[in-house]
Structure 1
Amino acid sequence: MPNGLSISSRDLRDALIGLVPNAAALLVSSWILAGLEIAHWWWAFAVAAVTAGFDALVRPTLRLIAGFAGAITALVLGLSAQVALITAALVLVPGVYVSGVEAAAQALLLVALLAAVTRWLVGVNDSSYIVADLIRRGESRRRRRGRPVDEDDPCGVVIVQIDGLPYPLLGNGIVSGVLPTLSRWVRSGSHEMTPWWAQVPSTTPASQAGILHGRNDGIPAFRWYEKDTGRLVVANRPDDAATIEARLSDGHGLLADGGVSVSNMFSGDAPTALMVMSRAARRGDLGPGSSYIRFFFSPFVLARALVLTVAEIVKELYQGRQQRVRGIEPRIRRRGSYVALRGLTNVVLRDLNVALVAEHMMAGAPVIYVDFVDYDEIAHHAGVMRPESMDALAGIDLVLHTLQRVADAAPRNYEFVVLSDHGQSQGATFRQLTGRTLEAAVREHSGAASAVAETGDVEGWGPLNALLTDVLATARPKTRRALRRMDRADEAGVIVGPQRSGPADLSERPELVVVGSGNLGLVWFPRLPGRVTVETFTEQHPGLIPGLLTEPGIAFVVADSARGPLVLGRSGVRVLLEDVVEGHDPLSGFGPRAAADLLRVAEMKVAPDLYVHSTLHARTGEVHAFEELVGSHGGLGGWQNQAVLVHPAGWEIDEDLLDRSVPGEEMLYGAGSVHQQLVRWLERIGARRAEPVDGVPGPGRRHLTDTM
């Protein structure tokens, strides 16, 4: 047999190991389902083998079709093909009887359930199961080639964002053993861990824009009102995300040179963008449907994910009840849509992300950036260090282990960078503390009659929204129009989304707009043109600022004035431009970087008329979100500004990028600095071409050894 087609004993062993769980599950299914009979146990192995063979034969054709027809075709083909494949295998194998397609579909779901339970009992990594065939084929190719990857080939990089992971919690997870993969990397010396400072607003859109595009000016929060257009911009809505990226992108983002962006808010100018919010509504920029085939078509993978999603929902209901029964504080109500959201983000989206990243690693993509939101979403509702949040973090650590296995089988060497976009802080909400919302407090102290409040949780639905839009955007024009209508909301004269401007007549706009972004509140008076100053507030709403500062849970407000932005506290004022404090410093306790952070956002063109910031508990570091979230981020205080950067040990952080404004501390300050460092690393290892500046090659053309 030619060497290229030879099959080793290890290949056979790996294939057999892959068949055992499915064969066992098929056998048990025959005992349970009336429409499925298997004469002898060995026929179950035959069905599993035929299923795997059909998968190998049919998948290339499906991939080709989906590549032309898009993601929705991949979904439809995949679901149909899984049922057809298992039906064909059951019909063709002798000694097996199946009553029809319905029985085959039941068998598919039951096998997925039993195989998932079996793997859980024996401790098999679920993520490895998703890409096991990729890993086996990659390892076989390497063994047949008889030599490792050419070390002279440029190295690829996989950048994994663990959304919302605070640096102190990373340290705890490594020491406690909750994160064995990251612990092994750090303890072995292959990687180093360092914090970086996530500036206000410490939110995903601001940080991802900075990391992926090098800029995040013009993003004052997760959502904000623009007086120029009369719109409320929400960063995780596809059209708004596209508008934001268009404002920031220069075409040379982090992933511009052949990179792949997976499950992010922005593309980083990647040629391939999958489940990326800023690209989701534009069919021409959708990722190829063939990328989804592995997940949508592989036997039992999607069915298993759906089964485990239901299990995750049941687990959430139990854990939420346990918090109530045990009287754990602070806590929030964990019901409604969040229950389903946790199941989808913690299972379906995680598995799909793994499949997409692995697919592009095996294709040799130079740079891949993927965002896992599991921990952030659960920590919002359960708490930063609660058991369910740590379980989600441990699950992402398992993903890193799987991706490392994929890297070992990939056609090029890969290095891993792990980072977070911000940290997260904890505390009772403002409503729990005061008995009312921020909107109610502002209305009372200002006397405003009509108001629009946006203080509900919208962040968690972003990734799922991107997936649905990514898939459904390939549907008929009528369906796409319906999706756009769903993405708009007319309320009190405010249009959500960039499709059209708000009312041109100021009198038709609401008198007040209040937005929550973690423990940072934003207030606009849309009928008052321009930025409203302290002097104007004193004249038109004299009780607003003094009234807010008497509220429990509010530490200070930031407003413009004749002297520039002011931070006003209960017993003092800080003039940010002059760095002068009159009375007691309202930023005392918020850290030495607070003034610089607030000055930056206060000078943005789209800054609110009034920033409202929560108090910070001196001993516990707890803050009070203006959204109903027990874990939050957006402002200052606690761990929310302490983000994570884990990088290969030989990749030193450049001295000129380190901020030394705080004595005794050296760190990357702001997402823009992280972007610069990542670009330099990618250029030095050949994963990205250095962009010349005025005809002179950029600093990234230096070799790594020049900075070691």
Structure 2
Amino acid sequence: MASQVGRSVTVWAVSTLTMLVLAGILPDFQIQSPDGDSATRIAVTAAFGAGAFGLLSAVVWPLLVRLFLLVPTLVLGLLVFVLNGSLLLLALRINPSGRGEVAPETAVVVAAVMSAVASATGGALAVRDDDAYRRRLYRLADRRRRSHPPGTATPGTLFLQLDGVGHDVLLAAVDKGLMPTVARWLERPTHRLTSWRTDWSSQTGASQLGILHGSNHDVPAFRWYEKDRGEVMVCNRPTSAVELQRRAVERAGHGGLLAVDGASRGNLFSGGAEEQALVLSIATRRRSRETRSRAGYFAYFSDPANAVRTALSFFAEVGREIGQSVLARARKERPRVGRGGLYPLVRAFATVVERDVVVAAVMGDMLAGRTAIYADLVAYDEVAHHSGPMSRDAGKVLQRLDRSLALIENAAEHAPRRYRIVLLSDHGQSPGETFRTRYGLTLADLVRAGCGLPVPRKAERTHSGAEARAAVRAALRRPGKESREQYRPGRDSEPIVLASGNLGLVSFPDVPHRMSKEEIDARHPALLTTLANHPGIGFLLVRSEEHGGVVLGPFGTEIPLDRLDENPGPLADFGPGAVEAVRRTHSFPHTADIMVNSWYDPAEGEVLAFEEQIGSHGGLGGAQAKPFLLSPLALSEPPEGLVGAERVHQVLRRWLDEAGGPQVPLEQAEEKAA
């Protein structure tokens, strides 16, 4: 108790000193009368103002946050400054001396600085006091939601996903000293590291749906066109996420990995959890007491120092991204993509706001004793897309994520039950320049050229564009350069071309079924040949009326799916598991008319993204298909050769069963998946 009083007095004194310094620096901030006051009078005024501001922050701020509970996280973060400034104005107004005066815009600055200084001082004083640290952590938890008494015998399980961090990237970061927390887990050792292999669609939508709900059937890519619905599905679109989750629950036959006393934080899908924050699949539902998450928003923003720190870090991250982008351009780094527009704001949200809210929510869940928690931290994935998977920028993000792991680990020591922390990723990323950078045209341009449709003039003049037009003329036996209007199909038959990293999908919306190779050749005689022979294309998958399904490659290569084991053809470079992944995707009802996987260089591990990304994932080729599982030794060892997100779901469910949590029987989940 005495130490707590001492810390409070120290924080008050530092806040008072901060107010005095700011009053001396800022012309619009006055804490003395126009005629001047004694030093003692000024100090008393500052002390009262600092104390009133601290009390208002502790008492009024949580009430304000409750009022703004339904405001989007980013908006609430930006409102922090205004709300904090208002509290300072109120604190000065109730000062008995009547000496405090500050312009509204200056109040915002003063309040932000005082909150940051008070938070830093309190944290520094409490760092060596376990009791104080425990109390500080408990303030993050929503105690009304606590469902387990202290001392729960069975351990809880935290699944923490580092989005986009591949197995080899994790090991490299540990070797470079960027992730000391992970290094300690591996060196003691308390954890084991296992790699697993994704499905063909190596992206968060497919992986996380399979991991959380036990089925990612009929998810051929990050975005695809469904002919029966006339709709483009996009995994990170709320309406699509709702539908995908509904389908997965129906196919798996259970609510999900987190259906029993679970919490889902920062994910695309809920996993069946009752407690959710920043979960995309509930974004379209009306927010109610059941769907909103005070453990996420309220527990974090109820502390004004947290809110101010996050807001300040947000703007610092924006500045950091702009500086790194300018430096990369000045150095003429290659490969490089544009990083302007809204991207600095998007990056700052992913690396600061989302991280802070999710980490605080996870800590609150552990302190509330929840049985199973699954959280996704997307910071690395966002930065690696634009800076590169092994870049210095991405490495700095991994450093900050490791500090978050250490904070979560410390919080676990004060939870009412033991926690087993499982670290995992949903996919990796493969480096390489973009398809457009290398060849001067996009995949959509190449498809249109192969169909004899107009393409942008810039694309027309590229070598690829000229070859495509020549292939069309040869296929149609038209030796001259006559107008393309002579063989241009109607607009209703123009293809829809979608990209998911280095995986491309081509669909013809006017044909209600999945077109066969024979039908495509009859309509567009040069298209498949143009795509298969292009140096930036690795292979194609199409349906065949004769063989059921075929893989196409350069120089007329055409291999039926049932013969790939004896002759993998163009799939040979993509490593083990490529054949099974392609066969599985071929069986999906909504597989595109033409599935296009980019070229892959096995020596350098590089792919060519059909999107504007120099670190990409979504198809086959390289590190993108090799994520990791870092699991405590207390849990059973994962099977060797773990393939597919659905199998990972079975492993995680088994680990929950081993901890003694009441779960859906594993046998039922495995039967449904089969």
TM-score tier, shorter chain, comes to: 0.7 to 0.9
CA contact (8 A) 1:113 1:307 kept: no
C-alpha distance in 2 between matches for 1:638 and 1:212: 25
Q: CA deviation at 1:516?
A: 0.5
- Letter of the structure 1 residue corresponding to residue 263 of structure 2: V
- Letter of the structure 2 residue corresponding to residue 203 of structure 1: Q
The 5-angstrom pairing of residues 362-441 of structure 1 reads 362-441=367-446
Instruction: Structure 1: give runs of 5+ residues left out of the alignment.
Output: 1-6, 142-147, 452-505, 659-665, 700-708
CA contact (8 A) 1:223 1:517 kept: yes
CA contact (8 A) 2:650 2:666 kept: no
1:445 aligns with 2:450: yes
Residues 221-264 of structure 1, C-alpha deviations (whole Å, 9 max, x = no match) = 11110000111111111111111111111443011001111111
C-alpha distance in 1 between matches for 2:366 and 2:61: 18
CA contact (8 A) 2:167 2:626 kept: yes
Residues 583-602 of structure 1, C-alpha deviations (whole Å, 9 max, x = no match) = x8111211011100111112
Q: CA deviation at 1:418?
A: 0.9
Q: Specify whether residues 291 and 638 from structure 1 end up closer, same or farther in structure 2 by C-alpha distance, changes over 3 A only.
A: closer
Residue of structure 2 in register with 1:180 after alignment: 180
CA contact (8 A) 2:165 2:425 kept: yes
Q: Which has the larger radius of gyration?
A: 2
Q: 1:32 aligns with which of 25, 37, 43?
A: 25
Residue of structure 2 in register with 1:607 after alignment: 591
Q: Specify whether residues 685 and 52 from structure 1 end up closer, same or farther in structure 2 by C-alpha distance, changes over 3 A only.
A: farther
Q: 1:579 aligns with which of 557, 560, 564?
A: 564
C-alpha distance in 2 between matches for 1:275 and 1:380: 21
Residues 261-320 of structure 1, C-alpha deviations (whole Å, 9 max, x = no match) = 111100001112211111011014532446412333422332332222222111111111
Q: CA deviation at 1:183?
A: 1.0
The 5-angstrom pairing of residues 9-48 of structure 1 reads 9=3, 11-12=4-5, 15=8, 25-37=18-30
Residue of structure 1 in register with 2:485 after alignment: none
Determine helix, strand or coil for the equivalent of 1:358.
Answer: helix
Q: 2:320 aligns with which of 297, 315, 322?
A: 315
Q: CA deviation at 1:199?
A: 1.3
Residue of structure 1 in register with 2:171 after alignment: 171
CA contact (8 A) 1:75 1:293 kept: no
1:160 aligns with 2:153: no
The 5-angstrom pairing of residues 222-621 of structure 1 reads 222-249=222-249, 250-283=253-286, 284=288, 286-289=291-294, 291-448=296-453, 509=492, 511-561=494-544, 562-571=546-555, 572-579=557-564, 585-621=569-605
Q: CA deviation at 1:27?
A: 4.3
Q: CA deviation at 1:102?
A: 4.5
Q: Specify whether residues 580 and 149 from structure 1 end up closer, same or farther in structure 2 by C-alpha distance, changes over 3 A only.
A: closer
Residues 636-695 of structure 1, C-alpha deviations (whole Å, 9 max, x = no match) = 1110011011111111225xxx3xxxxxxx23211111111111111221344353868x
Q: CA deviation at 1:15?
A: 4.9
Determine helix, strand or coil for the equivalent of 1:639.
Answer: helix
C-alpha distance in 2 between matches for 1:432 and 1:426: 14
C-alpha distance in 2 between matches for 1:117 and 1:318: 26
CA contact (8 A) 2:190 2:633 kept: yes
C-alpha distance in 2 between matches for 1:242 and 1:683: 27
- Letter of the structure 1 residue corresponding to residue 278 of structure 2: M
- Letter of the structure 1 residue corresponding to residue 644 of structure 2: G
C-alpha distance in 1 between matches for 2:256 and 2:594: 32
C-alpha distance in 1 between matches for 2:49 and 2:210: 51
Q: CA deviation at 1:54?
A: 3.8
CA contact (8 A) 2:433 2:609 kept: yes
C-alpha distance in 1 between matches for 2:140 and 2:515: 61
TM-score, normalised to structure 2, is 0.82
Residue of structure 2 in register with 1:193 after alignment: 193
Q: Specify whether residues 157 and 22 from structure 1 end up closer, same or farther in structure 2 by C-alpha distance, changes over 3 A only.
A: farther
- Letter of the structure 1 residue corresponding to residue 327 of structure 2: Q
Residue of structure 2 in register with 1:646 after alignment: 630
Q: Specify whether residues 19 and 508 from structure 1 end up closer, same or farther in structure 2 by C-alpha distance, changes over 3 A only.
A: farther
Q: CA deviation at 1:577?
A: 2.5
Residue of structure 2 in register with 1:134 after alignment: 136
Q: Specify whether residues 691 and 581 from structure 1 end up closer, same or farther in structure 2 by C-alpha distance, changes over 3 A only.
A: closer
Determine helix, strand or coil for the equivalent of 2:624.
Answer: coil
CA contact (8 A) 2:296 2:358 kept: no
Residues 167-192 of structure 1, C-alpha deviations (whole Å, 9 max, x = no match) = 00111111211001111111121112
Instruction: Structure 2: give runs of 5+ residues left out of the alignment.
Output: 32-38, 144-148, 457-488
Determine helix, strand or coil for the equivalent of 2:211.
Answer: helix
Residue of structure 1 in register with 2:88 after alignment: 86
Determine helix, strand or coil for the equivalent of 1:522.
Answer: strand
Q: Specify whether residues 309 and 367 from structure 1 end up closer, same or farther in structure 2 by C-alpha distance, changes over 3 A only.
A: same
CA contact (8 A) 1:25 1:115 kept: no
Q: CA deviation at 1:19?
A: 6.2
Q: CA deviation at 1:23?
A: 5.6
Q: Specify whether residues 434 and 124 from structure 1 end up closer, same or farther in structure 2 by C-alpha distance, changes over 3 A only.
A: farther
TM-score, normalised to structure 1, is 0.78
C-alpha distance in 1 between matches for 2:404 and 2:194: 21
Q: Specify whether residues 14 and 508 from structure 1 end up closer, same or farther in structure 2 by C-alpha distance, changes over 3 A only.
A: farther
C-alpha distance in 1 between matches for 2:452 and 2:313: 50
Determine helix, strand or coil for the equivalent of 1:587.
Answer: helix
- Letter of the structure 1 residue corresponding to residue 246 of structure 2: A
Q: CA deviation at 1:626?
A: 0.3
C-alpha distance in 1 between matches for 2:501 and 2:75: 37
Identity percentage of aligned residues: 35
Residues 126-159 of structure 1, C-alpha deviations (whole Å, 9 max, x = no match) = xx9xx996327699x9xxxxxx963x52222221
Larger mean CA deviation between 366-375 and 379-388 belongs to 366-375
C-alpha distance in 1 between matches for 2:584 and 2:381: 26
C-alpha distance in 2 between matches for 1:576 and 1:303: 57
Q: Specify whether residues 15 and 550 from structure 1 end up closer, same or farther in structure 2 by C-alpha distance, changes over 3 A only.
A: farther
CA contact (8 A) 1:330 1:630 kept: yes
C-alpha distance in 1 between matches for 2:48 and 2:27: 20
CA contact (8 A) 1:71 1:288 kept: no
Q: CA deviation at 1:111?
A: 3.7
Residue of structure 2 in register with 1:456 after alignment: none
Larger mean CA deviation between 561-570 and 264-273 belongs to 561-570
- Letter of the structure 2 residue corresponding to residue 109 of structure 1: A
1:214 aligns with 2:214: yes
C-alpha distance in 1 between matches for 2:6 and 2:383: 39
